[in-house]
Amino acid sequence: MDRVLGWFFKQTEATPTYHQERCLATKATGCRICADECPHDAIRVRRKVEIDPIDCTGCGICVSACPSLALTPRGPAAPSDVALRCSQVAGNAPSVTCLARLLPTDLLRLADADGVVRLGRGDCADCAIGAPDVPERVEATAMRARAIAAVLSRELQVRIEHTERIDVEVQDRALSRRELLRSGSTSAKRVTASALAPLERLAGPEQTPGARPALPTDWVDTLALYDAASLAPETLVPARLPHVVDGCLFCPACTAACPTDAIQRRFEDDGATTLWLEPRRCVGCDACQQVCPVKVVRMDEPVTWERLAAERTELARRGGEGPPGTSAR
């Protein structure tokens, strides 16, 4: 009986998936944002994040709050549709436990041909699963999704409705998705396919021992959208990347704190010590800026697609003969 009950709870577990290799709490940054944001006191931060499966409701608030994306929703991504309801709302539209679970790329995938997404919510003030500020949290996610959509020259309207029921016509839903995949220009097809296909994954690839930390799925999908859109190099993108002003000590603080191994310190053949950034691996978590002992790491410059798409960029150099600031594609 215990084995049967254990299997049942494992299948119905609501806790998010924890990626310890990306967790800032394990890197001496003092981060405890997930615990502070959890409305159910289900999270403890010690040497790593511990989530109580009994107290956790699966609302996803900790997921959206985590700066390094070390927490991801457990189970499949939100279904591809134009309407979605939370667990309090009745109807035949697809549902999620709480709308706070949604990520920006989920909203992009939910949008219909006109860029409209309908989200049905219940009474968040008295909800035992989420929190009273879930509508504000969803709007913040929608703002990030709209920023991505703007880069892709797409419209996105996220309509959050306080309702008791939300229904959709099953036949229209099926046809709508086929038409999204079959209509429009070749470029539009590529962008739509990039938005839909990666998000069908239930989880990312398994981590190989000794390998670099896997990038968050939501960030990988966002980069795939940008790649498919063939953006002009000067296009501004909603991303945050570090740069380093004069005074770097070339200590290992930022490299040790980076949750995705985006920053690397190198000792070059010409005698120089350099600090390099792989922009596509940076999720903009601010850890490098927070731990820098001399406060020379900044994240206050606009980011172009050319800068984000670069294979690597030299942030700082001491000694040697090469010029600083070199980028590679």
Strands 273-277 and 263-267: antiparallel
Answer yes or no: are the C-beta atoms of 283 and 68 closer than 8 Å: yes
Q: How confident is the model at residue 168 (pLDDT cuts 50, 70, 90)?
A: confident
- pLDDT tens column, 82-140: 789 999 999 999 999 999 999 999 999 999 889 999 999 999 999 999 999 999 999 99
Residue 35 CB contacts under 8 Å (≥ 6 apart), including other chains: 43, 44, 45, 49
151 token code pair: 């880069």
Question: What is the pLDDT, as a whole number, of residue 184?
Answer: 37
To the nearest whole percent, how much of the chain has pLDDT over 70? 79
- pLDDT over threshold 70, residue 285: yes
Domain spans, the chain: 2-72, 83-200, 243-328
Average pLDDT over residues 196-220: 62
- Residue 244, pLDDT > 60, answer yes
pTM of the model: 0.79
| Among the ranges given (93-102, 184-193, 246-255, 273-282), the one the predictor scored with the smallest mean pLDDT | 184-193
Is domain 243-328 in CATH 3.30.70, yes or no? yes
Question: Tell me: the pLDDT tens digits for 297-317?
Answer: 999 999 999 999 999 999 999
Look up residue 324 and give its two tokens.
């600083």
2-72 and 243-328 agree in CATH topology? yes
Residues 277 and 310: their CA atoms lie apart, in Å, by 9
Task: Find which of 16-30, 60-74, 183-197, 229-243 is predicted with most confidence, using mean pLDDT.
Answer: 229-243
Neighbours of 190 (CB within 10 A): 17
CATH annotation of 2-72: 3.30.70.20
**How far is Cα of residue 154 from the mean position of the Cα atoms in its chain?**
20
Per the CB < 8 A criterion, the answer to whether 176 and 112 are in contact is yes
What pLDDT does 321 receive?
66
127 CB-side CA count, 13 A: 25
Quote the tokens at residue 297: 């790491």
Residue 33 pLDDT class (50, 70, 90 cuts): very high
**313, 279 in Cβ contact below 8 A?**
yes
Task: Work out the pLDDT band at 73, boundaries 50, 70, 90.
Answer: confident
Predicted confidence band of residue 169 (pLDDT cuts 50, 70, 90): confident
Average pLDDT over every residue of 60-78: 86
Confirm if 308 and 227 have CB atoms less than 8 A apart.
no
